[in-house]
Amino acid sequence: MEVAIDELFHTFETAPAGGHAVQICKKDQELIASVSQFARQGFLKEEKVLLIGSQAYLQAIQASLRSEGMDTAQAQTTGWLVLFDAQHLLSQFMIGDMPDWARFRKSAGTLIEGLQPDKFRVRAWGEMVNILWRDKNAAAAVKLEEYWNMLGREFPFFLLCTYLMDPFTDEPMSEGIFKTHSCTFFSPDFSRIEQCIDLALKELLGSTAVWIKKVFLEKNKGHLHEIPRVQMLVSWLQRDMPISYKKILGRAQTLYKTGMPNNFKPAGV
Q: Given this model, what pLDDT does residue 133 score? A: 94
For residues 183-195, average pLDDT? 87
The answer to which of 89-93, 189-193, 195-199, 220-224 has the lowest mean pLDDT is: 220-224
pLDDT reading at 224 higher than 60: no
For residues 187-214, average pLDDT? 87
Buried b (16+ CB within 10 A) or exposed e, 41-59: bbbeeebbbbbbbeeebbe
pLDDT reading at 6 higher than 70: no
Nearest to 35 by CA among 17, 69, 15: 15
Buried b (16+ CB within 10 A) or exposed e, 202-212: beebeeebbeb
Classify 233 in phi/psi space as left (phi over 0), alpha (psi -120 to 50) or beta: alpha
DSSP state of 169: T
Q: Which residues are CB-neighbours of 50 under 8 A, at least 6 positions away?
A: 82, 84, 111, 112, 115, 122, 123, 124, 125
- CA 246 vs. chain centroid, Å, equals 26
Q: Given this model, what pLDDT does residue 1 score? A: 42
pLDDT band at 226 (very low <50, low <70, confident <90, very high): low
Q: Which residues are CB-neighbours of 257 under 8 A, at least 6 positions away?
A: none
Q: Given this model, what pLDDT does residue 20 score? A: 94
pLDDT band at 261 (very low <50, low <70, confident <90, very high): low
Tell me which H or E stretch contains 130: helix 128-134
Q: Given this model, what pLDDT does residue 119 score? A: 94
Contact yes or no for 160/14 (Cβ under 8 A): no
pLDDT reading at 9 higher than 70: no
Looking at the DSSP bridge assignments, the partners of residue 162 are 23
Q: Given this model, what pLDDT does residue 3 score? A: 47
Q: Given this model, what pLDDT does residue 127 score? A: 97
pLDDT band at 18 (very low <50, low <70, confident <90, very high): confident
Nearest to 136 by CA among 109, 176, 172: 172
For residues 147-166, average pLDDT? 95
CA distance 126 to 236: 30
For residues 75-98, average pLDDT? 97
